[in-house]
Amino acid sequence: MSRTTEEQMMTDASASHDNAPKRVLRDEDAPGVVAIAVVATNGVIGDGHDQPFKFPEDWARFKRVTLGHPLIMGRRTHDAMGLLTGRTNIVVSRTPQAVTWPDQAPEGSHGIAVSSIEEALAVASGLDQRIYVIGGGQIYKAAWDWLTDLDITAVHEPADGSVTFPEISAQDWSQTSSEPHGEFDFVHYARISAPRPLPPATGDAVADH
């Protein structure tokens, strides 16, 4: 399967998204463990290989908000996306020694393979106070109890596929904003119930790649 790079996804998006100031303090930099996902009306996020929706504006926003923060992802999502530039990519696998890396790492990217979500969170919290969990389905579920925020691109139509986003229950989550963008909305949820405390941070994590 060929990889679709972030840059290819963003081809049609306004360059100004990517050139936005990166270290000015914004809500998007507040401490938290944030799941970010594109979700269809029927909860589908993928078919196990690829995502059903690719909106250049959404990809540009994904890059802007996650840039500089550590990313946690499942091995399958890593296989599909490769290393993302300007971010530490923490890949969760039951056989981390078998995770593969590109010969040439993209600029500013680092890759670390770990064997559990707890280890991923420990490494990530040693790097930054804001951590993004970027999928896929297994990893959103595994990280669910630690999440403080959900950053959802809610697409207005259903999709085919067997991989779904966990149910967002009104008991645990409060919708705090919704921004319409034509075919989709950017919707933010904050956790009402207390998240599980993060494991102790791992200092001096060394990138595998």
Contact in structure between 208 and 132 (CB atoms under 8 Å) = no
- In the complex with ligand NAP, the residue whose CB is nearer, 32 or 74, is 74
- In the complex with ligand NAP, the residue whose CB is nearer, 74 or 171, is 74
Please tell me whether residue 63 binds ligand NAP under the rule CB under 6 A: no
Please tell me whether residue 202 binds ligand NAP under the rule CB under 6 A: no
Show Cβ contacts of residue 167 under 8 Å, excluding neighbours closer than 6 positions: 43
Please tell me whether residue 121 binds ligand NAP under the rule CB under 6 A: no
In this chain, which of 30, 41, 48, 177 binds ligand NAP, going by CB under 6 A?
48
Q: Of 4-12, 68-76, 182-190, 193-201, which segment contacts ligand NAP by CB under 6 A?
A: 68-76
In this chain, which of 5, 85, 93, 129 binds ligand NAP, going by CB under 6 A?
93
- In the complex with ligand NAP, the residue whose CB is nearer, 25 or 37, is 37
Contact in structure between 63 and 20 (CB atoms under 8 Å) = no
Contact in structure between 122 and 200 (CB atoms under 8 Å) = yes
Please report, for residues 10, 15, 155, 172, the alpha-carbon distance to residue 139 in angstroms, rounded to integers and kept in the order given. Answer: 24, 31, 21, 19
Return the amino acid letter for 124: A
Contact in structure between 147 and 34 (CB atoms under 8 Å) = yes
Binding residues for ligand NAP, rule: CB under 6 A, are 37-38, 45-51, 74-77, 80, 92-95, 115-117, 134-139, 142, 163
